[in-house]
Structure 1
């Protein structure tokens, strides 16, 4: 752990200065962050830069999940990307569903057993429209199985700094709000009802920090529907342009 830890803080010092000047973050609730001990950090997800913004103000190293494609690239570029994410305390997760994320959650459990901080976005993907979506249950299940507290975090403005599709973030003020930890009692084999109840409480606390409109639907489902609607509109437009009725009539 010594090498990743050193590189993590090196990245914060070197890249953090640029990010701080670009986002001039306002921070609220620093007093709510436990100084030591295992912790699950649960934040809303608005932009790719979310996981870079939180460490600017969080006094402890945070381990995040990242999609496994960042770790499986080929050639020099792939090797560099894997090295960068690994040295920054990030580890891969298979997001295809069907229990394939189990290995990542096991790794997260090991992080907590070492007394460290595990960061996660319960929505599972970026919000497509700035709203807060239904939370997945992985964070709550992990908290119940370990008895580790959940720290709700609200990010505001990161979607303005980096809208979906934009690579270089804009110079926009952002805000990070840390809520009070949700104390969790350890449950050896939590029921689905217990896990969902804690997940809903976690999302409620995040919503209170961000004032986002809450949608009781998974963001992935909404994104898929939006994509299908766009494709249908494009297909309809293409069909309309190619129809005989749309062709210009001669004199």
Structure 2
């Protein structure tokens, strides 16, 4: 009796699924179409996407590195469907969407050209001011050097104690100022050597991604899971109905 009453549940389910194997074709196809279509229309974008990356170099002015300020520099037509992202690596990424490849390419070219011109203007202005400032510090360094030589010569002359002490203090103070001037000149010279010019790193226009394949794949997997769950529920209800009828 025990052998007769023994049930192979997994085998029963497998046989039940096999008899209704067409469900594994119908349900996944339906879910694949539904999910794929939903993702396509929800994620549907303009046909073409253009991306450009501009390196700001040594320019760090908020007027040229804040996304909102950068966006405000372009006309209304170029601002439409335009995203601006500023990374921590001094890169500004422009993403422009449009209906035609030529439209996106032209607009993106205008955007990068306008932005690069402003960056270069700021770069040249800062470079000119930095060089002028460096010259002033170099002149100050030379003047302090000449003053130190003059003070040391005066120090070698026999002077009254009061004048000697005053001159000695002046030499110490001048030497301190000279040391600061040399450090400033050295730092500014180093900064100028690594003063980087802005440039366009990349610019391209491609077809926008539709995410249709990803949506269809998700729908297919979801359909298989739903099919198994549906058939398991159907078998459970069938056995329950038969039990209570008997």
- Report TM bin, short chain: under 0.3
Structure-1-length-normalised TM-score: 0.21
Larger Rg over CA atoms: 2
Structure-2-length-normalised TM-score: 0.22
Which of 1 and 2 has higher RCO (CA within 8 Å, sep 6+)? 2
